[in-house]
Structure 1
Amino acid sequence: MGKTASDLGSESGARIPSVEAILKDELTRGDRALRSVPPVLSHMLASSGQSLVSDAIVARLRGMLASLSTQLLAAKDPARKAEADNAELDLLSDRLASDSVVLSYCYAMAMEGHLAEKFEQRSSIDPILSPLLQELIASDNAATAELAMNTLAAQSRFVQSQRRMDLPLAELPAELFHAILKRWEAHDRHDPAMAPAVKSLKAKYDEGASRIGLLARLVTAMRGGAIAALQLDHAGFALFASALSALGKQPRELAVLACHEHQAARLALSLRAAGLGSSAIKAQFELLHPAERLPSEIEAIAPERASILLNNSNARDAG
């Protein structure tokens, strides 16, 4: 994160800049980076020759866009073979890629898959079954145990889907799911097969049964104990991101992106907004951003103030 509050000052005794000012400056830089993501991704999807990590993310994006398109076309024509009419598939994939909201969500999912693999390799954090999830599965509360088991199954499917570079329509957030169907229907509104296809997809959709929905429900079921999910090595990345979203009162996609190495200010404010003190935040930084230095005066920012700073962030305009 560059200089911390303890690094700053001058021989003349000038006032040390507040930790809030430092973090706001770093957050603004992070926001600019996030706002640049959709146009950069659009360019990368149309080209090649990027770095290894970028290639991996772009490959996942291409796969997910193709996966979404294939599912939409199959809903309109169940007998359609996956390899048939590649021109139509490519056209629909390009339409989805031109939507910055769709592209930003797919990017967040690709980044989640990438980070989960990174933490597994670097810190042996299981991307599917974490210690906390095991504890919840063994809960005396039958409803909590069942919810945790369903979450485990959904997380296993997510990891497998990321490896295949797939994204099931049923796993989209409700707002994005319905927006995609609306735009798809409007573009091909004269096709008589469109209306029944959209109706069928809507009938099968259940946000509460999706992985993101299950994770959110599990965090809610934990009530005050949800703070335990803010320990990455204990909760696992998926549950950690959902808890950071819920307790920090921000979209889950931004909670995921806060864990990227160039979003340290967002992570610090997110953890503070979720109610963690400096020692607990430092512990998470050592796992997530070991090369970054956390401002020692982070507790000077109240959780409510950290939440306001995040809500005022321009990163929400990135999609």
Structure 2
Amino acid sequence: MDLAADHAVEAILRDELAREARALGSVVPVLRHLLGSEARGLVSDAILARVRGMIFDLASQVCAASEGRDPATRLSGADLAAPERLAEALMADEALLAFCHALAAEGLIAERLHQQSAIDPVLSPLLQELIASEDPAIAGLAMSTLAAQSRFMQSQRRMELPIGELPAELFHTAVAQVQGGVADGSGLVRLQTAYDEGTSRLGLLARLVAAMRRGAVAALGLDHAGIALFASALAAQVRSSRGEAVLACHEAQGTRLALMLRVAGLSPSAIERQLLLVDPAGLHPRAIAALSPERAAALLAAGGPV
């Protein structure tokens, strides 16, 4: 891919980006089909199982709240019919499916990076440094983020998703699915009152990256920051959704990740190091070296949303 002509380099990158975009664009329709399929018991894919588990867990929590119970207790036994009906309704929400897919992918990527490169999925070197910061606000945010990241990895292994971890729009949409059919809505009111997006894991990560200011560039190293901080920092630098940043770290998405890192201002050698961590056996787009961050941004925008 080391071509002298700029137009040839960009044509190759556009083709690769289009292929990756098609693959990512097919994720939610395929998820919706498989989750509703009568043959779903034969599907053993780890991401599919986690997405289904998270959506059913959300439904159980909403149903528990609608009955005046603590959402953390969920519903079980004879109470399974109501959450199953709600889960079916939630599976029709493309935004929720995409969000859960990104979380499932993040959990599996974190586990893979731990196994392959010994990158701790909870306490990265950068997070350790931030916890030891002389700024008490940053140190406190980092400690809260550490606790939230630990809970996230545990929840992923259990295929659960605490409802307070949803972004505000998805949280209110999930609650609205049952709000009209509940005689006594006090439990749902309490659930909504207790909700605070800023204290969710993603909220804490975003606040921590913002508090780092220019130092957030230190989070653009996967081995130093870990996938959670890396994805939040990359999304902030590139002004994309965090889900896009997470999915760019998936195997076979090297062109998208390389372009995003170039937009963020990383050098070709630094980009190469990140690509090797994500996909050691992959073919890496060396043509990135010929692109300015501005041209990388243009190519990324032309590639379409994921």
Percentage of pairs with the same residue: 54
- Structure 2 distance, partners of 1:191, 1:26, is 50
SS at match of 2:305: helix
Of 94, 97, 122, the match for 1:100? 94
Shift of 1:183: 4.0
Superposed, 1:201-216 pairs within 5 Å as 201-216=191-206
RCO greater where, 1 or 2, for CA within 8 Å and sep 6 or more? 1
Aligned pair in 2 of structure 1 residues 229, 86: CA closer, same or farther (>3 Å)?
A: same
Contact persistence 1:65–1:96 (CA under 8 A): yes
Please, which moves more after superposition, 172-181 or 290-299?
290-299
Query: Please, what is the CA RMSD of the aligned residues?
Result: 1.9
Per-residue CA deviation, residues 112-169 of structure 1 (Å, 9 max, x unaligned), is 1111001100111100001110000001111111110000000000011111111011
Aligned pair in 2 of structure 1 residues 105, 77: CA closer, same or farther (>3 Å)?
A: same
Shift of 1:315: 3.0
Residue of structure 2 equivalent to 1:76: 66
SS at match of 1:127: coil
Of 27, 37, 49, the match for 2:42? 49
**Which runs of 5 or more residues in structure 2 are unaligned?**
none
Shift of 1:176: 1.8
Of 171, 176, 185, the match for 2:170? 176
**Which runs of 5 or more residues in structure 1 are unaligned?**
10-14
- Structure 2 distance, partners of 1:181, 1:35, is 27
Shift of 1:245: 0.8
Residue of structure 1 equivalent to 2:84: 90
Please, which moves more after superposition, 40-49 or 208-217?
40-49
Superposed, 1:113-124 pairs within 5 Å as 113-124=107-118
Query: What letter corresponds to residue 253 of structure 2 in structure 1?
Result: Q
Residue of structure 2 equivalent to 1:191: 182
Of 211, 220, 226, the match for 1:221? 211
- Structure 2 distance, partners of 1:81, 1:181, is 16
- Structure 2 distance, partners of 1:212, 1:149, is 14
Residue of structure 1 equivalent to 2:127: 133
- Structure 2 distance, partners of 1:199, 1:164, is 27
Of 237, 248, 251, the match for 2:238? 248
Please, which moves more after superposition, 262-271 or 74-83?
74-83
Contact persistence 1:27–1:313 (CA under 8 A): yes
Aligned pair in 2 of structure 1 residues 311, 204: CA closer, same or farther (>3 Å)?
A: farther
Contact persistence 2:51–2:159 (CA under 8 A): yes
- Structure 1 distance, partners of 2:161, 2:111, is 17
Aligned pair in 2 of structure 1 residues 285, 72: CA closer, same or farther (>3 Å)?
A: same
Q: How many residues align?
A: 299
Query: What letter corresponds to residue 76 of structure 1 in structure 2?
Result: S
Shift of 1:21: 2.2
Tell me the TM-score normalised to structure 2 length.
0.91
Tell me the TM-score normalised to structure 1 length.
0.88
Shift of 1:197: 3.6
Residue of structure 2 equivalent to 1:149: 143
Q: Establish whether residue 237 from structure 1 lines up as the match of residue 231 from structure 2.
A: no
